[in-house]
Chain A
Amino acid sequence: MKFSIQINEGPYQHQASDTAYQFAKAALAAGHEIFRVFFYHDGVNNATRLAVPPQDDRNVAKQWSELALENDLDMVVCIAAAQRRGIMDAAEAKRQGLDADNLMAGFRISGLGQLIEAGIESDRLIVFGA
């Protein structure tokens, strides 16, 4: 079955990103396909590569990145939510005249149309949030 996942909460805020990650891993292990993971609202904060949590704690952004690269997942960050919160890829940082970018490997920035398409193309859309 084809699943898509929407995440509305940032890392270390409460538990939504962790639950979504465990769900995604279990879905892949059960042989399901993940069509897309869409990061919306504060969920875009899961996509920064500049977070440095303590060594004995999980690195949420890195976990997602590794899962995406290992399983060829399409992980999309909402552009409007990302710009408000300072999540930038290199092209967007340049366009805005900024001196740095911070988007983690495995994520890409795009628009809400990607969420609508995920809802249409997937058998199930599951929302995790605050």
Chain B
Amino acid sequence: MGLLHTVNKSPFESNTFDTCLGYALDGSTVLLIEDGVYAATIGTRASEKIQQKIQSNNDVSFAVLGPDLQARGLENKLADGIKVVDYEGFVNLVAEHDSVQSWL
């Protein structure tokens, strides 16, 4: 499979999420961790972009790190189409993809 992209900044703080979306090709997964989980919350411009990306290219997947979502009280505000993973799931995503790009 393609690349695993990790985004650890809030889309309200940094443009790494937008940059990452532009580079997310077929077979890749975007994993939102740390403050990056804010991009997965419903009703934000960032999660709208995720929906658009899924509709235009359904071979790009989105995941969010559950513990970081819970730490911010956002587990009930998760937008559609984003898979929740724990650290074990994070490890599996790293193993399943050819390489990891951390957008710092």
Q: Give residues in A with beta carbon < 8 Å to B.
A: 1, 3, 8, 14-16, 19, 22-23, 25-27, 29-30, 32, 124-130
Contact = CB atoms under 8 A, between A and B. Distances in A.
14 contacts: A1-B95, A3-B94, A14-B35, A15-B35, A16-B8, A25-B87, A26-B87, A27-B91, A27-B94, A126-B100, A127-B102, A128-B8, A129-B102, A130-B104
A92 B88 CA distance: 38
A26 B91 CA distance: 7
Q: Which has the most chain A C-beta neighbours within 10 Å: B6, B67, B102?
A: B102
A1 B33 CA distance: 22
Contact of B88 (A19, A26, A129, A130): A26
Contact of A125 (B86, B88, B100): B100
A126 B94 contact: yes
Contacts of B95: 1, 32, 124
Range, interface on chain B: 20 to 34
A23 B87 contact: yes
Contacts of A27: 91, 94
Contacts, number: 53
The dominant DSSP class at the A interface is: mixed
A8 B103 CA distance: 13
B99 interface: yes
B104 A126 contact: no
A29 B89 CA distance: 12
B58 interface: no
Contacts of A126: 6, 94, 100, 102
Contact of A23 (B91, B99, B104): B91
A120 B91 CA distance: 19
